[in-house]
Amino acid sequence: MLDRLADFFLQSGFDSGYWGEWQDEDETLENLRQAIMQALLEDDLLTDQELDELSDDSGNINYELMAELIDRLIQRLVEEGYINIDEPAANTGHPPGSRQGKAGKKSDRPVKFEITDKGLDFLGYKALKDLIAPLGKSSIGRHDTRHLSTGVESSEASRPYEFGDSLNLDVNSTLRSAIGREGLGVPINLEYCDLMVNQTEYQSSCATVLMLDCSHSMILYGEDRFTPAKRVALALTQLIRTQYPGDSLKVVLFHDSAEEIPLSRVAQVKVGPYHTNTSEGLRLARRLLLAQRKDMRQIIMITDGKPSAMTLPDGRIYKNPMGLDPRILKETFSEVALCRRSSIMINTFMLADDYYLVDFVKKVTQICQGKAYFTTTMSLGQYILMDYVRRRTQKIH
C-alpha cells in the first residue's frame, strides 16, 4: 500500500495550478483516504473475495464498509510508524483517523498527517531499487581509488610505518625486520625502522549538494518534472546511507532565491510561481560544500529552465523571464567559475532541449569542466545514480 501511495506522498503541486506554492493542502486525512480508496479500486490490491465482501447485494461498493477498511489501513500505517496524524485520539476514544465517535467539538481545521522518517526511508529504498533494477549488475560500493592507505582491514602488502599512519601494525613483518637486523634473541629489540603497518585500499569520501529547480516551469507543459527529482533525492539518500557512509548529501532548492532544506522535508516540498535564480543556488551550494571536509565535492543540479533571476548586492531580486538576460548570465557564470576554483564539480541534468538552453548548459560545463546530461523524467534517476557511483572513481583516478 505504501508503495502504491508513493506518488501521492511525493506530489509536487502539478494539479494545484499556477499559484500552487508549498502548501500542505494535500496532506489532509481526507485526501489520504481518497488516495487509499483509489489505490484499492484501481491497482488490484483487493482480491475478488474481498471485493465481494465490500459490495452490497446489487454488486456496488458499500462505502461504509470501505470507509471502515480504509480507517483500519490508516491505523496500521500509524502503528507501523510510516505516518503521523496530528488528531488527538483521547477526545474520541477511537484511534487517529477513525470516522467513528462524534463526541467533542468538531474542529474547523482539517486533520493533517505527515510522513515519518521511517516512511521516507521506505520510499527511498523503493526508489533506489526501482532505479537500480534496469541497470542490471552494478558495482555499487565505496569510492575506490588507485591509492593505498593504512587501515584496520589488511588487503595489501605491509610497508614501513610513517608518521601520521594508523598504527595498525603488521606484527609478523615487524618482528622479522627486527630479527633480521639483530638476529634471533630474547628480548627482541625493536627500532623505529622495524615498524611495519598493514595497508588497505584508500577509499575517498564525497560531499554532494543536490540542487533542485522548483520554479513554475517544472510542472508546466503537461509534465510533472519535480516529482522524479524528489525521487532521485530520496534514492541518493538511501544509496549514501547504505553504500557510502562517509559521504554527505544536502539538498538546496533554488527559485526566486535559494534555501537548504533537511532531507526529511523533501517529500513535502512543491513548486511555486517562481523564477530561476541559478546563481544564488550555486552560491549557497558552494558555501555548504566548502564547510565539508571531504576529498571530493560536487553539485548535482536538476533544472529545466534558463536562469531568469539574480540576487542584487542590496538583497533585492532582479527578474527577467524574457530570454537569456546578459546580466543574469554573467552572474551565473561567475558563480560557476568560483565553484571551479574551489574544486567543486558541477554535473547538470537538463530536462529540456531548447537550443539556447543547451548552449547555456554547454557553457557552464566548459567553465567548470563538469558534465552535462540532457535527459527526461523517465531516465533522470538512472543517469544520476550511475554518474554518482562510477564517475567519482574515474575523477580520482
User: What is the pLDDT, as a whole number, of residue 132?
Assistant: 52
User: What is the pLDDT, as a whole number, of residue 385?
Assistant: 60
DSSP 105-153: PPPSSPPBEEE-HHHHHHHHHHHHHHHHGGG-S----SEEEEEEE--SS
**Which three three-digit cell numbers place residue 55?**
459490495
| This prediction's pTM | 0.63
User: What is the pLDDT, as a whole number, of residue 158?
Assistant: 74
DSSP 280-327: HHHHHHHHHHHTS--SEEEEEEEESS---EEE-TTSPEEE--SS--HH
Could you state, in chain order, the average pLDDT of each consecutive group of 10 residues for the chain (397 residues)? Answer: 78 53 61 84 77 78 85 88 70 45 48 80 73 45 46 56 70 85 82 77 73 84 76 80 81 93 84 90 95 86 86 93 88 94 87 77 85 70 61 47
User: What is the pLDDT, as a whole number, of residue 290?
Assistant: 93
User: What is the pLDDT, as a whole number, of residue 164?
Assistant: 62
User: What is the pLDDT, as a whole number, of residue 199?
Assistant: 64
Residue 344 burial (10 A CB sphere; 0-12, 13-18, 19+):
buried
User: What is the pLDDT, as a whole number, of residue 397?
Assistant: 42
User: What is the pLDDT, as a whole number, of residue 338?
Assistant: 95
User: What is the pLDDT, as a whole number, of residue 89?
Assistant: 44
User: What is the pLDDT, as a whole number, of residue 222?
Assistant: 66
Q: Is 165 helix (H, G, I), strand (E, B) or coil?
A: coil
List the beta bridge partners of residue 355.
none
Q: How many CA atoms lie within 13 A of 326 on its CB side?
A: 0
Determine how many CB atoms are found less than 10 A away from the CB of residue 247.
22
DSSP 319-355: E--SS--HHHHHHHHHHHHHHHHTTEEEEEEES---H
